[in-house]
Structure 1
């Protein structure tokens, strides 16, 4: 975990179904129990802050411009994040995680852009902090499924079930073992940063409003405050991404209304 403001492999085959992970937590929208919707943020989080740090502000921008393949603005956002204290490891982790939401091609292109940015900064005499790799080995087999299921339950607010999982039962074990297991068990990026990245990417992607609402709720559960999420909207708007900001604003309003907040 980072020491920023509050908060927080088993290798799988390239199964086509894993691309469906772009649904992410959005598959859970409306399928958790009402009690889960009202649950408190994870006990492992620290009290929510009122503002995002400079480092945190860069994360949804990186994610949004990755999702839209806007390389010039992604380049600027990557530089902004590194200048604000993101390590190279954390930045790589953001771009790797987001393949599950916006696809491998965009993830690979963004990683190539990050490599270009880091090399250019070295040539200018800037030595970015490399950061660290995960501090523990990722479980495999049944242990990975158990860890991923526990992470999924904490982030979604309760056990995940519903008609879509009855219709396509295989998708939830994929989510539990890969997204919430292989990826969320990697502790070189805290969960608040992971949710900021996911919100940014989904806000920039038309047609995934349900998933965006779900991640707004998840962001609150991992310790981000309403004020911080409103600041995400402001940051997107300030950087010329009005449509993304509008989708994020609508999703936050609906998420708060659904939870009575």
Structure 2
């Protein structure tokens, strides 16, 4: 009996379906966080029809309008202005239709304004250092070396203007980011990087496996398979690094 139990436990651990068995109550992902995943993914993919369904589902579940809007705003930094603007237009159209039908959706809280004299470069640098868990004040990446101004944009705008908006937590913003990157092609390196950032912000491996479950169930099985493969590579590298530091 002991041998059978061990074998069953081993199968559960190594079976690809292990991630699909995640229990939302145990994973720690809130219901609102689960709605972020398809909204960000369909925005990045430019699939407005499926995005409209995902937004409607989120609104029906009580996700605040401003929270959904914030995900769509952030998406322009990863998927570009056109897809972000199309997504925001879709949200506006949905809200108009729902209002005409007598549905009152909860707005939620808007972003807290920053002081007018805020140094966005310093703020963005601090935010980036915090969520990456390392000092990136002097960015040695090749893209920053060949075009230093892009690092200024990253600090002042992405991590200053956008990530400092308190409508979403840094964990929720990273969840939106990895959802978008998973839905896009040719950005595997960035997905790996943001998995690492997600872990630094406090998302757990279990939560990230649950993220791939949501991709599989609500977005696309192939997208989920790619996202899970890269996640497992990141977690394996993290385990090996931890072992080497002992």
Of 82, 86, 93 in structure 2, the residue corresponding to residue 109 of structure 1 is 86
CA distance in 1, matches of 2:224, 2:80: 22
Provide the TM-score with structure 1 as the length reference. Answer: 0.77
In 1, distance between residues paired with 2:159 and 2:93? Answer: 30
2:233 maps to what in 1? Answer: 254
Q: CA RMSD in A?
A: 1.7
What residue number does 1:194 align with? 173
| Change in CA separation of 1:139 and 1:211 when aligned onto 2, cut-off 3 Å | farther
Deviations 1:8-49 (A, max 9, x none): xxxxxxxxxxxxxxxxxxxxxxxxxxxxxxxxxxxxxxxxx6
From 204, 212, 215, the counterpart of 2:191: 212
> What residue in structure 2 maps to residue 162 of structure 1?
140
Mapped to 2, the partners of 1:55 and 1:220 lie a distance apart of 19
Q: Is the 8 A contact 2:27 2:207 kept in 1?
A: yes
**Is 1:127 paired with 2:101?**
no
Q: After the TM superposition, which of the residue ranges 95-104 and 158-167 deviates more from structure 2?
A: 158-167
Distance 1:140 1:248, change over 3 A: farther
**In 2, distance between residues paired with 1:256 and 1:85?**
33
- Change over 3 Å in CA distance of 1:64–1:104 after alignment to 2: same
Deviation at 1:139, TM superposition (A): 5.2
Per-residue CA distance 1:50-80 (angstroms, 9 max, x = gap): 2322211110100111111111210111012
After TM superposition, the score normalised by the length of structure 2 is 0.81
Between 1 and 2, higher relative CO (CA 8 Å, sep ≥ 6) is seen in 1
Contact 1:51 1:231 in 2 (8 A): no
- Cα separation, partners in 2 of 1:240 and 1:137, compared to 1, 3 Å: closer
Indicate conservation of the 8 Å contact 1:236/1:242, yes or no. Answer: yes
1:136: Cα distance to partner?
A: 2.9
Unaligned runs of 5+ residues in structure 1 are: 1-48
SS at match of 1:154: helix
Cα separation, 1, equivalents of 2:201 and 2:62: 21
1:138–1:185 contact (8 Å) kept in structure 2: no
